[in-house]
Structure 1
Amino acid sequence: MRRLAPAAQADLRLRVVAALESGQVKTYGQAAELFGVSERSVGTWWRAFRAGGRQALLAVVRQPRPGMGELLDSSARGAVLQAMRDYTPAEVGHGGVLWTRASVKALIKLVCGVSMTEQGVGKWLRRHGFTPQRPAR
């Protein structure tokens, strides 16, 4: 189901519920087999339809949760990226010559005063085009 576009997903839900409502199929199992979805999904869609009608089955554009997003604004992001280009971790007080998540975390704390987890730093780095590299042997 997730391979379908949101509009196609909504259409499938509506077809499954219409088949149940019209009596074309009698059970969730029959509907699941006929439409190639799971019984659990059929039951979820049927209950949603019974509680909220057709509107409950339509595709919903999800909004980001409030408070989620970048911890660093554009100027802070630019300052961190510039510092990563201009300095090595050793020059800013961390061992090594390569930027690691831990060293970038410390750099963000030093430059911006923002505390991030190493996992969050990893996501932030990927979001801005940095990927893990293997050392050349």
Structure 2
Amino acid sequence: MRYPQGGGLTAERRAFRERMRVEAAGMFAAGQGNAVIAKELRVSARSVQRWRRAWQDGGQAALRSKGPGLSPKLSEALFAVLEQELDKGPVAHGWDDQTWTLSRIRTLIERRFHKSLALSTIAQMLRRHGWSHQVPARRAVERDEAAVAGWVKEVWPQVETPRRRSEPSSSSRTKQGLR
């Protein structure tokens, strides 16, 4: 189960799953079969097989949670440095305009930290830290609010296609007008 912030399971959910594995260990010791345990715990038989193998190899300790599955690709300290670099803007790093793209951020990470990350990983990492591609930091200085409001009132209605009025219709091919 993944979350939009880019994390994995919550601590509570990891603890719940660990309790299920420990409960399964008690059933293994009682000699119950995999199918019975799977039905009782409402998990797949394949999971019970993996748990039984781990239990046989390492006992109940082998069924304990090992913590979160993935560590962050950039530590908090490195991400803070990345944020400082992003605040400088793309022009400071050699690009022609003031637009950050995931590709540019990946290039920056490769240059600065010598790490290669997938674009989706970078997007998740940025979202997790509150960055969004949809919200600009500030409006353009050249923006004329009065001109924008006038355009929306006067020009847009002429450009927008008018909606069709709803009329009773027929999907029949034998309609009189179609012959």
TM-score normalised by the shorter chain: which range applies? 0.5 to 0.7
Stretches of structure 1 lacking an aligned partner (at least 5 in a row) = none
**Bigger CA radius of gyration:** 2
Corresponding residue for residue 52 of structure 1 = 58
Q: Please give the alpha-carbon distance, in whole angstroms, between the structure 2 residues aligned to 1:18 and 1:61.
A: 22
Q: Please give the alpha-carbon distance, in whole angstroms, between the structure 2 residues aligned to 1:134 and 1:60.
A: 38
AA in 2 matched with 1:102: S
Q: Do residues 16 (structure 1) and 24 (structure 2) align?
A: yes
Contact map agreement 1:101 1:118 (CA 8 A) in 2 = no
Q: With structure 1 as the length reference, what TM-score do the two structures score?
A: 0.63
Residues 42 and 131 of structure 1: CA distance in aligned 2, closer, same or farther (over 3 Å): same
Q: Which has the higher contact order (CA 8 A, sep 6+)?
A: 2
Stretches of structure 2 lacking an aligned partner (at least 5 in a row) = 2-8, 137-179
RMSD, aligned CA: 3.9
Q: Please give the alpha-carbon distance, in whole angstroms, between the structure 2 residues aligned to 1:106 and 1:10.
A: 40
**Higher alpha-carbon deviation: 93-102 or 8-17:** 93-102
Residues 123 and 34 of structure 1: CA distance in aligned 2, closer, same or farther (over 3 Å): closer
- 1:103 deviates by 3.5
AA in 2 matched with 1:57: L
AA in 2 matched with 1:69: L
Residues 63 and 123 of structure 1: CA distance in aligned 2, closer, same or farther (over 3 Å): closer
- Percentage of pairs with the same residue: 24
Q: With structure 2 as the length reference, what TM-score do the two structures score?
A: 0.51
